[in-house]
Amino acid sequence: MSNVVITISRQYGAAGREIATKVAEKLGVHLYDRQLVHIAAAQLQIDELSEEELLKLEREVPPLGLSFTPFFSFGMRGEKPLNQQIFEAEAGVIARLARNESCVILGRCADFVLHNERNVLSVFIHASDKFRADRGVHAYLGKTLEDLKREDEKRALYYKHFTAQEFGDPENYDLVVRSDKGTTDEIAESIVAYAKAFIK
């Protein structure tokens, strides 16, 4: 199989991170997630912010909320909000990764950034409310289903802002998978098999 990139987007609480980790392990490739925001920040020469602040900045939809501005007195560089610059820098990193290596990319609107690339399989992982509610209790330190859905709302707003598309819409992905229909290992194996069958 030639160079292959798998992008994975997911509902919060649908075991997407665990599945992405197993997909990367089965393919013997790197999984890229939070490190992308650090690479983008380094390119923009931002070293004043902690990881938590960077991730919050990344998730905010411009214009930044007033509650966030104290973190960030330098707020704008040129005409663009810094979170717009971070998104664009991340997109550039994602595009370079896709050209140069096989990998798995979790989130970061990577499905949209790479939608014209032939060697990319875009996957969306979702699950039933019951499955997610159970994981909220056991895997997310007691989060309720409402908590998980609020996180999804934030992801959807961010995705809509930067892509003008609907988060989770099957039209935006090559493969939509329900993670409650098997173990994480079985789901990961099915994604790898699909990628090997359809990316030549």
| Cis peptide bond upstream of 70, omega within 30 | no
Please state, in angstroms and rounded to a whole number, the distance separating the CA atoms of residues 96 and 89: 11
Please state, in angstroms and rounded to a whole number, the distance separating the CA atoms of residues 27 and 134: 29
In this prediction, residue 57 carries a pLDDT of 54
Please state, in angstroms and rounded to a whole number, the distance separating the CA atoms of residues 22 and 3: 18
**What are the pLDDT digits (tens) for 35-81?**
776 676 666 666 655 656 555 555 555 544 433 333 233 344 456 77
C-alpha 178: how far from its chain's center? Answer: 17
CATH number of the structural domain spanning residue 132: 3.40.50.300
The residues, ordered by sequence, that sit 6+ positions from 162 with a Cβ below 8 Å of its Cβ are: 87, 109, 112
In this prediction, residue 68 carries a pLDDT of 35
The residues, ordered by sequence, that sit 6+ positions from 52 with a Cβ below 8 Å of its Cβ are: none
Strand runs labelled E in 42-147: 76-77, 80-81, 103-106, 120-126
C-alpha 199: how far from its chain's center? Answer: 21
Distances (CA, A) of 100 to 23, 96, 114, 143: 19, 6, 13, 38
Q: Which tokens sit at 53?
A: 């602040």
Contact 44, 89 (CB under 8 A): yes
Q: Which tokens sit at 46?
A: 């931002």
In this prediction, residue 76 carries a pLDDT of 45
In this prediction, residue 12 carries a pLDDT of 94
| Beta-ladder partners of 125 | 10, 177
Please state, in angstroms and rounded to a whole number, the distance separating the CA atoms of residues 44 and 89: 8
Please state, in angstroms and rounded to a whole number, the distance separating the CA atoms of residues 38 and 124: 24
Chunked mean pLDDT (size 10), the chain, 200 residues? 87 95 95 76 63 57 40 46 80 89 92 92 97 93 93 91 93 96 96 88
Range of the domain at 99: 5-198
Number of domains, the chain: 1
The residues, ordered by sequence, that sit 6+ positions from 53 with a Cβ below 8 Å of its Cβ are: 71, 72
